[in-house]
Amino acid sequence: MSTLRVSEGLKKLFACAVERKIRLLEKARGSDRVASSRRAQRSLKYGIGREVALHISNVSEGRLMSHGKVGIVGYGVYIPRERIETAKIVREREKKRGKELEKVLEKVRHGLLLREKAVAGHTEDTMTIATEAAENAIRMAGISPSEIGSVTAGSESKPYAVGTIARHVASFVGVGENVFIADLEGACNSGMQGVGFIDAEIRSGRIKYGLAIGSDVAQAERGDPLEYSAGAGAGAFVLGKSDLIASIEDIAPYSSLFMDFWRREESAVPKHFGRTTVEAYKSHIIGAIANLLRKHPDLSLSDFDWITFHQPSGYLPMKTCNALTQDEIPYVGDSSISERMRLTEQDIEKKIKPWLRVLDTGNTYAASTMISLASLFDKARPGDQVLGVSYGSGAYSNATWFEVQDGIEEKRGRAPTVMDYVERKSEIRIDTYHDLIRERLSRIKRRLEIPRLVGEIESVNGSYFSLSLCKGCNRIYYPARETCLASDCPGPMEKKRFPRFAKLKNVAKLPFKKRWTSNFELLEKNKVLFVDADVSDLKPGVRLEGVIRRLDYEGKDGLILYGIAYRPVFREAVAVVTKPKPIVIAPTQYA
C-alpha cells in the first residue's frame, strides 16, 4: 500500500476549505442539515482520509489506521434479572464492626460509588449471557449469522478451562463452521481486544463480518471488598463495513507488566494488591489516551462528545477524571499531549458520568466497557465523537475512537436497550445471594439442584429449537446432533423440537421430594423449565420466548449441558420488529 505524508499546512488548507463549505451550507440550509459536512471536517482535521489510506512512518507520531469505514453494525447486551443492593452484602460481611458499620456503608456508597449489582441466576453462566447479547447484536445488525466469519469472546470466568465460549456462542446463535474462533485473555480488557482483532480481520479483507463478545460472571472471595462490585453481564458488537452504527476511527493500546490482580490456575477466585490497582488503572487509561492523541496532533480529549472508561467501580473512573483536570497530568511527560488531555468539571459531568453503568450492574469485567458503550450508543446521534477506554489487570488498555453514523437511527429499537435490561430486575434476599454464590463456587454435586418452576407449553408459530436427548447417558445436546459424543454409549438419541415462541398451558413448582428430577427427564416428558419469572408472572395463555440456559452439569469435571428454557416475552415486547434478515439455525453440531 502506498504511503502519503500529510503536512500540517496541507491539513490546515483542507480544513479551511471544508470550513468555508460548511459556512455556506449553514447559511443556505441551517445548521441542522450539515452533520455529514461536520464529520468530513473532523476527518480532515484529524488527518484521517476516507478515500486514501494515510500512514505516518514517524514513530513519534504513531500510525493512522487504513480506512474503509469499518465499524459497529449492531450491538447488544445482556444483564441478569437478579440484583442485590451492595449495602445488603456490606451489612452481612461487616456486621462485626458495630458502630463503624455506617461509616463503611458511606464509603462504599459515596467513595467507591457502588449501588447494586447483577447476579447470574442458577441457570446462567458466561456462555448463556454471552449468547443473548450476541443474539441482540445480530438482530440489530440485520444480518444472517452465517455471514459472520470470526467470533471472539473475552472473559475471565470461563466455564471450561479447555473448550471455548466463542464456539459455544457461535453454535447457539447459528454461526456455521466456516468461522475463526478465539477466546481471549486480557482480564477486563479482553472484550475490547476482540473488537480490535476483528477490526483488523475485516480491514484485511479476510472476513465480511465479525462478532466480538465480552462476558463475565465475576468472582470474588467471600468478604473480600472485591465482592461488593463483582457483577455479571455481557456485551457484543457485530463489526462490518456497511450500514454502520459507528465507525472505528482508530485504536491506541497501552500495556505493561503490572500484576495488580490475578487468578492462578485452579483457583476459584482472584487475588489482588488492593490500592495498587488505582495506580495500574490510572496509568494505563491515561497511557492509552496519550498514545491516541500522539497519533493525532490536532485531536484533544475535549473534542469527544462522549467518553467512557472501564468501570471496576464508580471511584476509579472518577479518580482518573480528576487527574485529567490537573495542571500536570500524571504519567504524561510530553507537555503538548498533556495540554490536549485536559478535561473540565463540566466535561466530566456531561460527557462521562451519564454512562456509569457500574452503579446498576456492578463490575461486569470483560463486558464493562462494551455495556457502557452500548448505553452511550443508545442515546448518541450521527456525527457524535465517542471514546471508549478499556482496561484489564496485568495490565492492558485500549483507547477506541468511534464516530456515530447515520445508520444508528434506522436500527434503534431492533433489540432491547441497556436501560431495558437495567429496569428488568428482581431484588433478591441475602440468603438467595448466598445460595447462588455457593453453587457457583463449589459445583461439586453430580447434578444441578435448584428450585424450579416447570410446566407445559404450546407453539404459537412455526419456528423451533432442535435438541437431542441421549437416553443412554441422559445427556442433553444443543444444538441437536445425530450421535452421542461418548463412542461407547448405546443410545438411542431422540431429537426433539421446542418452539421459539410459545403460550403457557400450565405451571407448577417442582416439589421438594422431586428435587432429584433432572431437566433431561422433564424435556423427555415434554415439560419445560421456566426462568426469569415468579409464579405470579406465569398465567395460562401468557406468551413465552425460548432462551438458552445451563440445564445441568456432570459433576465438577464433566460436560456442562445447555438447552432451552422459557420466560415471559421480554425482547419482542420492548423491541420494534423491523424485519432484519432471519437468523439461520446452525447445522447439526455440538458446541
Q: What is the DSSP string of 459-494?
A: ESSS-EEEEEEETTTTEEESS--SS-SSTT----EE
Residue range 427-447: mean pLDDT, rounded: 80
- For residue range 546-581, what is the model confidence (pLDDT) as tens digits? 999 999 988 888 999 999 999 999 998 776 544 444
List, for residues 273-322, the tens digit of each pLDDT value. 888 889 999 999 999 999 999 999 999 999 999 999 999 999 999 999 99
For the segment 69-81, the average pLDDT, to the nearest whole number, is 97
255 DSSP 8-state letter:
E
Residue spans of beta strands (DSSP E) within 409-461: 426-427, 453-459
Q: What is the DSSP string of 212-244?
A: EEEEEE----TT-GGGGTB-EEEEEEEEESSS-
The model carries a pTM of: 0.87
Mean pLDDT across 408-431: 96
Q: Which of 34, 74, 76, 68 is CA-nearest to residue 52? A: 68
Contact assessment for residue 317 and residue 311, using Cβ atoms and an 8 Å cutoff: yes
Query: How many CB atoms are located within 10 Å of the residue 504 CB?
Result: 22
Mean pLDDT of the chain: 87
289-293, 380-384, 495-499, 510-514: which has the minimum mean pLDDT? 510-514
**205-209, 360-364, 468-472, 585-589: segment of lowest average pLDDT:** 585-589
Q: Which of 284-293, 355-364, 494-503, 570-579 has the lowest mean pLDDT?
A: 570-579
How far is C-alpha 374 from the chain's CA centre? 8
For 220-238, what is the mean pLDDT? 93
Look at residue 111 and tell me whether its pLDDT is greater than 90: no
CATH of 71-426 given 3.40.47.10, 3.90.1480.20, 2.20.25.90, 3.40.50.720: 3.40.47.10
Q: How confident is the model at residue 64 (pLDDT cuts 50, 70, 90)?
A: low
Please give the positions annotated as active site: 156, 188, 310
> For residue 40, is pLDDT > 70?
no
Looking at residue 55, its pLDDT comes to: 33
Can you tell me which residue has the cell 434506522? 410
Q: Residues 119-128: pLDDT tens digits? A: 999 999 999 9
Cβ contacts of residue 365 below 8 Å, gap of 6+? 155, 156, 157, 187, 188, 214, 216, 218
pLDDT at 59: 36
Per-residue pLDDT reduced to its tens digit, 6-33: 445 445 445 544 554 454 444 444 444 4
**Cell numbers linked to 8:** 500540517
Q: Where are the domains of the chain?
A: 8-45, 71-426, 445-574
pLDDT at 535 over 60: yes
Res. 4: pLDDT tops 80: no
The share of the chain scoring above pLDDT 90, in percent, equals 71
Which set of grid coordinates corresponds to residue 59? 514513530
| Residue 16: per-residue pLDDT | 47
Phi/psi at 423 (5° precision): -80, -15
Residue 267 has pLDDT above 80, yes or no: yes
Regarding predicted confidence, which is higher, 140 or 63?
140
pLDDT at 404 over 70: yes
List beta partners, residue 117.
84
Cell numbers 406465569 correspond to 538
pLDDT, greater one: 304 or 44: 304
User: pLDDT at residue 46 above 70?
Assistant: no
